[in-house]
Amino acid sequence: MKKYITGKSWFEFLLLLVIVMKSAAGNTSAQQPEVIYDESEVAPYTLPDALVLDNGTPVTDESAWWKERRPEILSLFETQVYGKTPAGKRDLRFVIASSDSNALHGKAIRKEITVYFTPDMEGPSMSLLLYLPKKQTAVPVMLGLNFKGNHTITDDPKVAVSGSWEAAKYKRGEDSMSWPVMGIIDRGFGLATVYYGDIDPDFDDGFRNGVHPLFYERGQTKPGTGEWGSIGAWAWGLSRALDYLETDEAVDPEKIVVLGHSRLGKAALWAGAQDQRFAVVVSNNSGCGGAALSKRIFGETVASINNNFPHWFCDRFKEYNNNEASLPVDQHMLIALIAPRPVYIASAEDDLWADPKGEFLGAFFADPVFKLLGTAGLTVTELPPLNTPVGKTIGYHIRSGGHAITRYDWDRYMDFAEMHFH
Ligand code: GCU
């Protein structure tokens, strides 16, 4: 005989359902601890010393840094965090897709360069948008990836709209507040940018699109556990942009500043750590997996970043979900890999998800390496007041306001680059 749910048992059934749903929700929050935004809740943690080898031997001179500790740290970031970038020089093709020597009301030269990653010019390519101040040689260039497409950084109607991923859905000039193009040109810098979706669209598709498949061995369908994720690919794209800039006669290839905001700040740091041709590296609000210390467990954590963005890091990084204590590195060591080249770390007061204090401490604990290599380093030991840039070889500021890259930030980065270039 069939059993029917009576009025009363419907009520009981619903009650049971509510209880089951509540307890499931309870379980989820038990697995995902509350986000810590209060300094008093930060538990004690131990950082690996950037100047002690894994076997316990202290690093006391430059030669031990270059020959032993630096390669050791780089390899830890490759195998445990971002994944290894495929080695080997690519046979790139640069095609000038457009060029205009009267851009920005006659103040600048604008070029769009299609960078093909294979000589047959098939497969993925990226479009590099370059503005250079007119009548200037040996131009220093600010290079960074953009989030929404080259056409969104400026109102300039001639900039092409990328066909990759989501670029077409954004309006021309819609991100121009983040890119003070005219201000950059007026200060004598060039600006180079690439849409990050040209290199690798930012969603978890099992690495079928973007540049990863270009490097698969026969039969391989996705990167191995210790191979690169999307941040690795974006960083690689920045180096390919630099490959082009080295060939442009107007540009000074020894004065390239690589910078990025947020996830693209993580990519800029990783690019600067791996590729020593970048003269200056800038991280704007890069947070977890960028400049902020993971072991503080403040704001975004390793588990939350891996759960929300499973494609950003290498698979092995997931072993450190809710297990930051066992990470053999922390982000101060990423900053240390940039030494002795100048690096600027910037935070924003209200950007607690990115852990401003943790970003400052990333810089602070990298400082001994900068000192060992004979630079002035950070020069301060405390988080500075708001809107007060500090530091020499490591620059730092915490700006009032939230998660963004603003004109204030850009002006500080250009001050910093000028100080080092002149
Ligand atoms: C998310 C993510 C951050 C990242 C940011 C961004 O908030 O959790 O890690 O930096 O997006 O890229 O804007």
CA 331 to chain centroid, in Å, comes to: 12
Q: Which of 147, 262, 403 most suits a substitution to test ligand 1, by most atoms within 8 Å of the C-beta?
A: 262
Distance 352 CA to ligand 1 centre (A): 12
Q: Which atom of ligand 1 is nearest to the CA of 147?
A: 12
* Alpha-carbon dihedral sign for residues 362, 204, 326, 295: positive
Q: Which atom of ligand 1 is nearest to the CA of 304?
A: 8
Q: Which of 196, 263, 284, 305 most suits a substitution to test ligand 1, by most atoms within 8 Å of the C-beta?
A: 263
With a 6 A CB cut-off, is 300 part of the ligand 1 pocket?
A: yes
Q: Which residue's entry shows tokens 């009548």?
A: 135
Q: Which of 300, 301, 359 most suits a substitution to test ligand 1, by most atoms within 8 Å of the C-beta?
A: 300
With a 6 A CB cut-off, is 283 part of the ligand 1 pocket?
A: no
* Alpha-carbon dihedral sign for residues 47, 53, 58, 63: negative
Residue 288: CB partners within 8 Å, gap ≥ 6? Answer: 294, 299, 300, 301, 302, 304, 305, 354, 355
Q: What strand order describes the sheet that includes 280-284?
A: 93-102, 108-116, 125-133, 190-195, 139-146, 251-261, 280-284, 343-348, 394-399
d(CA 409, CA 405): 6
With a 6 A CB cut-off, is 272 part of the ligand 1 pocket?
A: no
Q: Which atom of ligand 1 is nearest to the CA of 403?
A: 13
**Taking Cα atoms as reference points, which of 230, 291, 292 lies closest to residue 85?**
230
140: helix, strand or coil: strand
Distance 64 CA to ligand 1 centre (A): 36
Distance 260 CA to ligand 1 centre (A): 12
With a 6 A CB cut-off, is 230 part of the ligand 1 pocket?
A: no
Distance 288 CA to ligand 1 centre (A): 8
Give the residue whose CA is nearest to atom 13 of ligand 1.
262
Give the residue numbers annotated as catalytic, written as ranges: 262, 403
d(CA 108, CA 330): 42
**Taking Cα atoms as reference points, which of 219, 199, 194 lies closest to residue 209?**
199
With a 6 A CB cut-off, is 288 part of the ligand 1 pocket?
A: yes
pLDDT, residue 4, reads 35
With a 6 A CB cut-off, is 405 part of the ligand 1 pocket?
A: no
pLDDT, residue 31, reads 57
Distance 269 CA to ligand 1 centre (A): 15
With a 6 A CB cut-off, is 263 part of the ligand 1 pocket?
A: yes
Distance 182 CA to ligand 1 centre (A): 27
Distance 263 CA to ligand 1 centre (A): 5
- Quick one: tokens of 89? 């020089």
d(CA 312, CA 289): 9
**pLDDT tens-digit profile, the chain (422 residues):** 333 333 445 444 444 444 444 434 434 444 567 999 999 999 999 999 999 999 999 999 999 999 999 999 999 999 999 999 999 888 999 999 999 999 999 999 999 999 999 999 998 999 999 999 999 999 999 999 999 999 999 999 999 999 999 999 999 999 999 999 999 999 999 999 999 999 999 999 999 999 999 999 999 999 999 999 999 999 999 999 999 999 999 999 999 999 999 999 999 999 999 999 999 999 999 999 999 999 999 999 999 999 999 999 999 999 999 999 999 999 999 999 999 999 999 999 999 999 999 999 999 999 999 999 999 999 999 999 999 999 999 999 999 999 999 999 999 999 999 999 98
- Quick one: tokens of 384? 């500075």
* Predicted model pTM: 0.93
Distance 262 CA to ligand 1 centre (A): 6
With a 6 A CB cut-off, is 305 part of the ligand 1 pocket?
A: yes
With a 6 A CB cut-off, is 148 part of the ligand 1 pocket?
A: no
d(CA 35, CA 162): 37
pLDDT, residue 32, reads 65
Under 8 Å between Cβ of 226 and 215: no
Distance 357 CA to ligand 1 centre (A): 17
Q: Which atom of ligand 1 is nearest to the CA of 289?
A: 9
Q: Which atom of ligand 1 is nearest to the CA of 308?
A: 8
Residue 25: CB partners within 8 Å, gap ≥ 6? Answer: none
